[in-house]
Structure 1
Amino acid sequence: MPYPIYQVDAFTDRLFGGNPAAVMPLESDLPDDTLLALAVENNLSETAFFTALPEGNDADFRIRWFTPGTEVPLCGHATLATAWVIFNRLDWPADSLRFQSKSGLLGVSRGKDGWLTLDFPNLPCEERPTPSAITEALESAPETAFFVPNDTNYMVVLADEAAVRAAEPDMRTLKSLGNQGLIITAPGQDCDFVSRYFAPGAGIDEDPVTGSIHSVLVPYWAERLGKTRFDARQVSRRGGRLRCELKGDRVAIAGQAVLYMEGNVYLP
């Protein structure tokens, strides 16, 4: 039986930039082990699966995200990619849509300039001593880190953009964090802040552009810089640009997307 599949580069305006995500529309739910097997076969940082919900629900679609190793509670770039597919391949008539997810209700709106804006939660973080797995894996790690309880991530703040770009964490040591990832960030040279993201325990050594970590980064930099609107860069090898805004208990995360491939998956 054929199932449609799309691959979209998210948070970029050029092919082979940003973060590639696989997107699969489903008419009904598939078993979790099948969803994980599909994510492994796709071998991308995330594969998004979505189903349409009946009218009268508080959302239009249900969405789930799988890495090659596990299901994750929140994913920005694959949500952006999914919205791009719905708007541009499934002829969605409105300029906004809503997803039901394990992180609550998520909205996406389409601007006149073609940018898509995610309505994501504001995820608070707690300051605590940096775990030994991080200090051993990353020579430049400070003594204090930030833990994100609702997203199982740690964040460390480095001195400057050069330190973020130069970081080469030991993935074998970081993997001992399990499904917890590591965000590194610093002030940017030609933007407000830069970041990178590593989650080898979840099957992702380095994620090219990670929308969901901006649910943590934006409130942190808002408090530090005393502003609410940001031009952000994720400075991985592929790289990506994001426009972000703090809106109380929500964070707006905007980006562009480019279609790379579409076809069918054949399941028995």
Structure 2
Amino acid sequence: MGIKTYTVDAFTDQPFTGNPAAICLLEEPLTEELMQQIAVEYNLSETGFIIRKSENHFGVRYFSPRQEIPLCGHATLSAAKILFMLDVQMNQVIFDTIGGLRLYCERRGDQIMMKFPLYDSVAIDLPEPMMQALGIDKAIASRLAKDTKMLLLEIESEAVLRTIKPDFKALVNSYTGIDGVIVTAKSESDYDFVSRYFWPWAGSDEDPVTGAAHTVLAKYWSDKLGKSQLHAYQVSQRGGFMFLELDEKGHLEITSSAVIMMTGDLRI
């Protein structure tokens, strides 16, 4: 069997930055076991599998090298980038996730807008072992987004955020029942806020750029700054940007760019 496969750097307009994803265009469904094996083979933060339902309507599933992931922003952006490249007349694509979400993607010039859900979070107290594992002395706020199984911590500055070097083994042992922890701060440049995302519970130690985390960050920073339009940057080693807009219906529009890096056939 040959599967048309692509790798894409998402949330960036420059090669070798942003978040890389592998995208597999399926002619027929694969077993979960085989999709997991393919994700391990590519060893990227996520591999996306898309299969056509109708002309511009696709099913999508996301796998990290460890497990299936319910929602992935950069793999969705990457899949839309591929489909828009293959059909220059297509300007909108719809993806249905395994969890029942319907995601709309729209071509906007050289960029792509994705319509995602928006998630609230509630204040919680973090255990001291987690703070120690992250190497953080104090947090301005600590919150839990139950829908995404993510913790959110706001800390004092972008400068501190950039220097964090977690003890990942201790981090996993410090908290259970979550997929990852977002650490964020107000930006010291032209962006509204910056962030990093650590998820050794479900994927790699640190994700380069995380669309799903911004479904939580957008609500938090919109409430704090009193803005419905936000510019965000994830300050990982690779780095990536996105523009966020909250609409009146409680949805989030995420707009950014992606760069196709490789095309090929997966032979299995």
Task: Tell me the TM-score normalised to structure 2 length.
Answer: 0.94
* Correspondence for 1:189: 188
1:3-36, Cα deviation, whole Å (9 max, x unpaired): 1110000011111010000000111211101101
**Counterpart Cα distance in 2 of 1:227 and 1:143:** 20
Work out whether residues 45 and 65 of structure 2, in 8 Å CA contact, stay in contact via their aligned partners in 1: yes
Task: Tell me the TM-score normalised to structure 1 length.
Answer: 0.94
- Structure 2, unmatched stretches of 5+, are none
**Counterpart Cα distance in 1 of 2:132 and 2:158:** 21
* Correspondence for 1:75: 72
**Counterpart Cα distance in 2 of 1:103 and 1:198:** 25
Going from structure 1 to structure 2, the CA distance change for 1:206 and 1:5 (only over 3 Å counts) comes to same
**Counterpart Cα distance in 2 of 1:187 and 1:143:** 11
1:161-212, Cα deviation, whole Å (9 max, x unpaired): 1111111111112223455201000000111000000101213111111111
Secondary structure of the 1:200 match is: coil
- The code of the aligned residue for 1:257 comes to A
For residues 1-268 of structure 1, what are the structure 2 equivalents within 5 Å? Answer: 1-54=1-54, 60-89=57-86, 91=87, 93-101=89-97, 102=99, 104-112=101-109, 114-140=110-136, 141-142=138-139, 144-176=141-173, 177=175, 180-190=179-189, 191-248=191-248, 249-267=250-268
- The code of the aligned residue for 1:158 comes to I
**Counterpart Cα distance in 2 of 1:17 and 1:210:** 13
Percent of aligned pairs sharing the same letter: 38
Following superposition, the deviation at residue 132 of structure 1 comes to: 4.2
1:107-147, Cα deviation, whole Å (9 max, x unpaired): 111112x1101100001111111134522311315285211
Following superposition, the deviation at residue 40 of structure 1 comes to: 0.4
**Counterpart Cα distance in 1 of 2:222 and 2:42:** 36
Work out whether residues 196 and 236 of structure 1, in 8 Å CA contact, stay in contact via their aligned partners in 2: yes
Secondary structure of the 1:202 match is: coil
**Counterpart Cα distance in 1 of 2:93 and 2:148:** 23
Going from structure 1 to structure 2, the CA distance change for 1:169 and 1:103 (only over 3 Å counts) comes to farther
Going from structure 1 to structure 2, the CA distance change for 1:209 and 1:54 (only over 3 Å counts) comes to same
**Counterpart Cα distance in 1 of 2:141 and 2:223:** 17
- The code of the aligned residue for 1:34 comes to L
Going from structure 1 to structure 2, the CA distance change for 1:264 and 1:251 (only over 3 Å counts) comes to same
Runs of 4+ in 1 over 4 A off after TM superposition: none
**Counterpart Cα distance in 2 of 1:88 and 1:25:** 13
Secondary structure of the 1:129 match is: coil
**Counterpart Cα distance in 2 of 1:161 and 1:216:** 18
- Residue-pair matches, total: 262
Question: How well do the aligned residues superpose, as a CA RMSD in angstroms?
Answer: 1.5
- The code of the aligned residue for 1:218 comes to A
